[in-house]
């Protein structure tokens, strides 16, 4: 009987862990990268330093690349400290990053700045945290659903998305460090909730019967 209780407990905990597990979102995304000099008069409040879809630096003349990327959104400063866009986007281990991005990413005093847009699609409601150093804004259906609009220290911004397309904007400014990780906890599937609920009910029922017999 004790073994039965232990088995049911293990199954229920397994279902619970599968519900709560968080990992970087992984899939195929569209990535567009712009790189420009903001100028010596820029600071963190400048429109050119904002991770928004209205950033005036997002022009054809500043665009370095627009490409399809397959892999996780889990970009961090390279271990060798390289201040390079191609190296930064390559840290996630996804598909090849274009050679046109083999260039410096940002510099101090809010001068050289990189703006990145990532577009994707989710098939169900998801939520989690975007870990970032410098600003981000996450849009869905044309409206921001998560934002830290100006360059920051490394922080985690919570988000929730419903089914459909999304756009994530990220700005890297004022020198390193750099980070952009989109950690996702999927909304529990009904089947997972059913397994968890049945397991907990059975544990209570079996434990009660065992207690009465003892």
* The pLDDT value given to residue 19: 42
How are strands ordered across the β-sheet holding 143-148?
A: 63-72, 26-37, 112-122, 164-172, 136-140, 143-148
* The pLDDT value given to residue 135: 96
Radius of gyration (C-alpha) of the chain in whole angstroms: 22
* The pLDDT value given to residue 152: 84
Question: Which CATH architecture describes the domain 22-187?
Answer: Sandwich (2.60)
Cβ atoms within 10 Å of 94's Cβ, excluding its own: 20
- State pTM to two decimals: 0.79
Asked if 187 and 124 count as a contact pair (C-beta separation under 8 A), the reply is: yes
Taking the C-alpha atoms of residue 145 and residue 160, their distance in angstroms, rounded to an integer, is 7
| Residues in the chain where the model's pLDDT stays below 70 | 1-21, 186-214
Q: Where exactly are the structural domains of the chain?
A: 2-19+191-213, 22-187
């Amino acid at each position: 009987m004790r073994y039965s209780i232990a088995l049911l407990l293990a199954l229920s905990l397994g279902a619970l862990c599968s519900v709560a597990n968080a990992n970087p979102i992984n899939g195929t995304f569209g990535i567009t990268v712009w790189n420009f000099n903001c100028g010596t008069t820029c600071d963190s409040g400048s429109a050119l330093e904002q991770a928004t879809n209205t950033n005036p630096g997002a022009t054809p003349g500043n665009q370095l690349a627009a490409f399809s990327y397959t892999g996780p959104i889990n970009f961090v400063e390279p271990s060798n400290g390289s201040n390079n866009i191609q190296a930064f986007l390559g840290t996630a281990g996804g598909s090849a990053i274009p050679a046109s991005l083999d260039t410096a990413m940002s510099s101090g005093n809010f001068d050289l700045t990189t703006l990145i847009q990532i577009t994707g699609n989710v098939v169900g409601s998801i939520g989690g945290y975007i870990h970032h150093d410098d600003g981000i804004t996450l849009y869905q259906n044309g409206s921001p659903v998560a934002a830290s609009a100006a360059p920051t220290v490394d922080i985690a911004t919570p988000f929730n998305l419903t089914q459909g397309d999304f756009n994530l904007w990220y700005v890297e400014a004022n020198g390193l460090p750099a980070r952009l990780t989109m950690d996702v906890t999927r909304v529990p599937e009904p089947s997972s909730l059913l397994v968890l609920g049945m397991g907990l009910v059975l544990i209570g029922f079996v434990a009660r019967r065992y207690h009465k017999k003892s």
